[in-house]
Amino acid sequence: MKFIFCIGLFLSILGAREISLETPKDAVNSYYYAMNHADLDLLKKVMVKDSYDETVQVWALSIALNDKVFHTLLKQYGTDPKVDKEVEEAVHKKLFTAPAKTLSDLETTPLGKSRAIIRYKENGKKKQLFASLHGATWKIDYMAGRKID
């Protein structure tokens, strides 16, 4: 029993290091940690709700293309918590089997005080994500790159 407690404590310490959201770079690192570990609960914490839902739907669509029953279920996403859970479980399985991605060369460009663009390389390919500030934490927010009038 003591051994299990020690392992749990060690894993929680490791996990806590991976979910920092103090800077936009931290948010991107935590996002990739969640994606590489198929941790949708962590992904919910790292992303704003609309961006999270969009991410789940994109991954679910890749499943739905080969499964008509699941496609019908996906159309109901966001209308029923049971449906959402079923879709999220399928996405979890898909992410779990996906190859891990590595990040490098993260650079942050502020877009005002509460938004930022983070440019980086994913497996050597140039990518970018947007983040927005929510209280004291930064979250991945696909809409943070929009032009504000």
Q: How many helices (H) and strands (E) are present in the chain, helices listed first? A: 6, 4
CB atoms < 10 A from the CB of 98, how many? Answer: 13
Cβ proximity of 131 and 144 under 8 Å: yes
- What pLDDT, on the 0 to 100 scale, is given for residue 67? 93
Q: Within 13 A of 55's CA, how many CA atoms are on the CB side? A: 25
- CATH for 23-145 (3.90.550, 3.10.450, 2.60.40, 1.10.3470): 3.10.450
Each residue's pLDDT tens digit, 52-80: 999 999 999 999 999 999 999 999 999 99
Cβ proximity of 27 and 139 under 8 Å: yes
Task: Work out the widest C-alpha separation in the chain, in whole angstroms.
Answer: 58
Instruction: Give this prediction's pTM.
Output: 0.82
Q: What are the structural domain ranges in the chain?
A: 23-145
Q: What percent of the chain has pLDDT over 90?
A: 80
Each residue's pLDDT tens digit, 14-47: 444 457 788 999 999 999 999 999 999 999 999 9
